[in-house]
């Protein structure tokens, strides 16, 4: 039997707690922007996002002023805004249980430590990997994070080492899912949500994976090495054949041009020698003579007479005869 007594709201059963997340992430650089998101059911009537340990509003305030949006925007992160946050939602006149707490951290407060892998950055599956985080600053704790994951991978106390502090993070045994980009931070116990600058990134690769997986990047399938090699050879053939044909055509054109030039020079030399030979054969005959030209030559015949050359002859002289011979040169 269900009994509801006013003004106490009617309880229809326990409401599932929501989930709180931070966009773009819960590790925020100094003066960075962050938005807290409370994910509840679609029938939620209001939301509440607050720091853990902050004063709780009264039931009257909750009923009169429920938060209509499920986000809380922090324009500029500062030290006083770091800490643990949780959220709840209102439905049917009742507030749900709080979500699991979200740690909101500000980075960049101190100098960065260094991160290295004692076994190298390329390891075999199943191998025990040790990541060393070291700093000359006496940090109380070191924090290890992996890129693409919105939570702390490991958090350990530091130990003295070579006039500084260090800690060893163990990844035992390592698998392909642990390949990726790692960074470490230093912090003090009195301000656990105020971290140093991040270390330089360390790229850990597990043998058998071509690239380190990251949730911030799409996962693309890669072709086997044999297929890549065959594709490379085929591509080389497709590129090499046109290049070879082009070179052959170029060589052929060069040869053809040289041949034509040599032939032209030979013809010119032959033409220069022919007029000289013709001049020697014909004597004084002009090269420009017309083969159809007709030449007339006069031939005069004289009949000799006896007697004195000086005495006049009483016999009348015979008339000189002239004949014309037509000479035609062809």
CA–CA dist 53, 32 (Å, integer):
24
Strand duo 102-107 + 27-29: pairing: parallel
CA–CA dist 7, 4 (Å, integer):
9
Is 80 exceeded by the pLDDT of residue 195? yes
What dihedral do alpha carbons 287, 289, 291, 293 form, nearest 10°?
-170
Is 50 exceeded by the pLDDT of residue 166? yes
Average pLDDT, the chain: 77
Q: E strand or H helix at 252, and its extent? A: helix 225-282
pLDDT for the residue 188: 98
Reported as a pLDDT band with limits 50, 70 and 90, residue 169 is very high
Is 80 exceeded by the pLDDT of residue 206? yes
The mean per-residue pLDDT over the stretch 239-268 comes to: 87
- The domain segmentation of the chain, as residue ranges, is 19-107, 114-206
Asked if 222 and 237 touch (Cβ cutoff 8 Å), the reply is no
CATH number of 19-107: 2.60.40.10
Reported as a pLDDT band with limits 50, 70 and 90, residue 138 is very high
Least confident of 37-46, 76-85, 124-133, 142-151: 142-151
Reported as a pLDDT band with limits 50, 70 and 90, residue 81 is very high
Reported as a pLDDT band with limits 50, 70 and 90, residue 313 is very low
DSSP 319: P
Residues of the chain above pLDDT 90, percent: 47
The mean per-residue pLDDT over the stretch 202-217 comes to: 67
Is 60 exceeded by the pLDDT of residue 259? yes
The closest alpha carbon to 189, from 163, 156, 160, 166, belongs to 156
DSSP 273: H
CA–CA dist 294, 27 (Å, integer):
119
Strand duo 202-206 + 122-123: pairing: parallel
Judge whether 19-107 and 114-206 match in fold: yes
pLDDT for the residue 66: 55
The mean per-residue pLDDT over the stretch 42-69 comes to: 72
* Residues 102-127: tens digit of each pLDDT: 999 999 999 999 999 998 999 999 99
Asked if 306 and 315 touch (Cβ cutoff 8 Å), the reply is no
The mean per-residue pLDDT over the stretch 286-292 comes to: 46
Residues of the chain above pLDDT 70, percent: 66
How many residues are listed for the chain in this entry?
A: 330
pLDDT for the residue 277: 52
pTM above 0.75, yes or no: no
- φ, ψ dihedrals at 142, nearest 5°: -120, 140
Query: ∠ CA(223), CA(229), CA(231), 5° rounding?
Result: 75
Which comes out higher in pLDDT, residue 20 or 279?
20
Is 70 exceeded by the pLDDT of residue 202? yes
Which CATH superfamily hosts domain 114-206? Immunoglobulins (2.60.40.10)
Residue 154, Cβ density class (10 Å: 0-12 exposed, 13-18 middle, ≥19 buried): middle
> What totals of helices (H) and strands (E) does the chain contain, helices first?
2, 20
Which comes out higher in pLDDT, residue 60 or 8?
60
């Amino acid at each position: 039997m269900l009994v509801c007594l006013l003004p106490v709201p009617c309880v229809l059963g326990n409401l599932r707690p929501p989930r709180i997340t931070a966009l773009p992430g819960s590790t925020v650089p100094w003066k960075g922007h962050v938005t807290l998101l409370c994910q509840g059911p679609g029938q939620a009537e209001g939301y509440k996002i607050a720091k853990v340990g902050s004063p709780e509003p009264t039931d009257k305030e909750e009923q009169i002023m429920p938060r209509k949006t499920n986000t809380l925007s922090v324009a500029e992160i500062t030290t006083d805004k770091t800490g643990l946050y949780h959220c709840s939602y209102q439905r049917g006149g009742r507030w749900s249980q709080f979500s699991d707490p979200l740690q909101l951290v500000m980075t960049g407060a101190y100098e960065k430590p260094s991160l290295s892998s004692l076994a190298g950055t390329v390891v075999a599956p199943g191998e025990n990997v040790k990541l060393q985080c070291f700093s000359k600053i006496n940090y109380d704790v070191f924090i290890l994070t992996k890129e693409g994951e919105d939570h702390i991978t490991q958090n350990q106390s530091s130990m003295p080492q070579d006039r500084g502090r260090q800690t060893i993070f163990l990844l035992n045994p390592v698998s392909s899912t642990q390949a990726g980009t790692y960074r470490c931070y230093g912090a003090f116990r009195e301000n656990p949500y105020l971290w140093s600058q991040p270390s330089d990134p360390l790229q850990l690769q597990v043998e058998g994976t071509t690239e380190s997986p990251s949730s911030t990047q799409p996962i693309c399938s890669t072709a086997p090495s044999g297929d890549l090699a065959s594709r490379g050879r085929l591509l080389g053939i497709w590129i090499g054949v046109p290049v070879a044909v082009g070179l052959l055509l170029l060589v052929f054109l060069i040869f053809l041009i040289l041949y034509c030039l040599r032939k032209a020079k030979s013809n010119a030399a032959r033409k220069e020698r022919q007029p000289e030979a013709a001049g020697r054969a014909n004597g004084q005959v002009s090269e420009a003579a017309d083969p159809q030209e007709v030449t007339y030559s006069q031939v005069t015949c004289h009949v000799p007479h006896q007697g004195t050359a000086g005495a006049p002859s009483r016999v009348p002289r015979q008339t000189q005869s002239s004949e014309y011979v037509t000479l035609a040169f062809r």
